[in-house]
Amino acid sequence: MHGEYKVPGGKLVVVDLDVEGGALRNVRVAGDFFLEPDEAILAIDAALEGAPAHTGTAGLAARIDAALPASTVMLGLSSEGVAVAVRRALAQATEWSDYDWQLIHEAPQSPALHMALDEVITAEVAAGRRPPTLRVWEWASPAVIIGSFQSLRNEVDPAGAERHGITVVRRVSGGGAMFVEPGNTITYSLSVPDSLVSGLSFADSYAYLDDWVLGALGDMGIKAWYQPLNDIATDAGKIAGAAQKRVVGGEGAVLHHVTMSYDIDADKMLEVLRIGKEKLSDKGTKSAKKRVDPLRRQTGLAREAVIERMIESFRTRYGLAQGKVTDEEMARAEELVRTKFGTEEWTARVP
């Protein structure tokens, strides 16, 4: 069995192993990390040898920690990272490069239709009728997207939304409210098979699925990192927020979507969103304007150029063929707008 895991902010860990009699055998750990002293790698292998195959990530990490020499120094590596690679090997997890990825980047669409397309496309990936898909959104109108479990009245000022012509929609994933305007926001979705994140905790899957875009931002000169649970941050502030939804049925799939601030009208946002003091204090800021740092200022590039570079970065890493929303998928999405995402019942399901 073979498992790989790139430690967030670190290096790649590779584990090869067998399972015999319910225990790990012939364990070999490798990767492009740095580890001192040399014998520490042998200690890691020995610590994992014979471990019950059902041992969880925490238990495997504890075995490694107990076996390492006191002088051990790890750079780009952690005991938890090795344990995750082991769990991914045991789960027979797939890798990014195992798939023929498809890109959807089409004309602007309504906020409610975007919500519906996320659900339909991810269900198609789960059913095996669609390859893993990167969908880059274009917005037909400004919107506030609230999380699946947020209170509508607590998050949105209805007078402000009406005054600025803001459509309010509710997505299927959890997380916080997002304020978007055409031309000022970059939004994308990854619809991926569940096997891509096998062996990862829910929290770890965020970092794993965000890793490619951190690389893309780095190519544009932005030093960005994953900030638990679901933010992408830089020294200048937060630039993106992610959310996920697990889809059952078929082989299962994960929807991971991200909204990035290219340029933001912070004054308008404050008139539409009810951003509480608790949320601001949790981010360590006094002003909502400081919570998001526009990509325009950090890159000096047009929004379209940023998107093109992100797409090309993904294509270079994993391959990416041009695709489209099929007629059948669009028909199903439009029906979901009519029956779910465009209805007051759904939008106000948590009043």
The stretch 323-328 carries a mean pLDDT of 98
> Is it the case that residue 78 has pLDDT exceeding 90?
yes
pLDDT tens for each residue of 223-236: 999 999 899 998 88
> In this predicted model, what pLDDT tens digit does every residue of 268-322 receive, in sequence order?
999 999 985 445 444 444 455 544 568 998 999 999 999 999 999 999 999 999 9
pLDDT at position 76: 95
57-71, 89-103, 145-159, 229-243 — which is least confidently predicted? 229-243
pLDDT in tens, 197-206: 999 998 899 9
Taking only the tens place, the pLDDT of each residue in 1-10 is 999 999 988 9
Share of the chain above pLDDT 90, in %: 88
Cα separation of 323 and 106, whole Å? 9
What pLDDT is recorded for position 289? 52
Q: Give the model confidence (pLDDT) of 62-72 as tens digits.
A: 999 999 999 99
At residue 287, the pLDDT reads 52
pLDDT one-digit tens code per residue, 8-31: 889 999 999 999 999 999 999 999
Residue 280 is predicted with a pLDDT of 47
Tens-place pLDDT, residues 107-151: 999 999 999 999 999 999 999 999 999 999 999 999 999 999 999
Beta-carbon count within 10 A of 153 CB: 12
Structure tokens belonging to residue 235: 């020294």
Q: Burial-class residue 243 by CB neighbours within 10 Å (0-12, 13-18, 19+).
A: buried
Asked if 142 contacts 167 with a C-beta cutoff of 8 angstroms, the reply is yes
- Write out the two tokens for 349: 């399901």
The mean pLDDT of the chain is 93
Whole-prediction pTM value?
0.91
What is the spatial distance between Cα 272 and Cα 30, in angstroms, rounded to a whole number?
Answer: 51
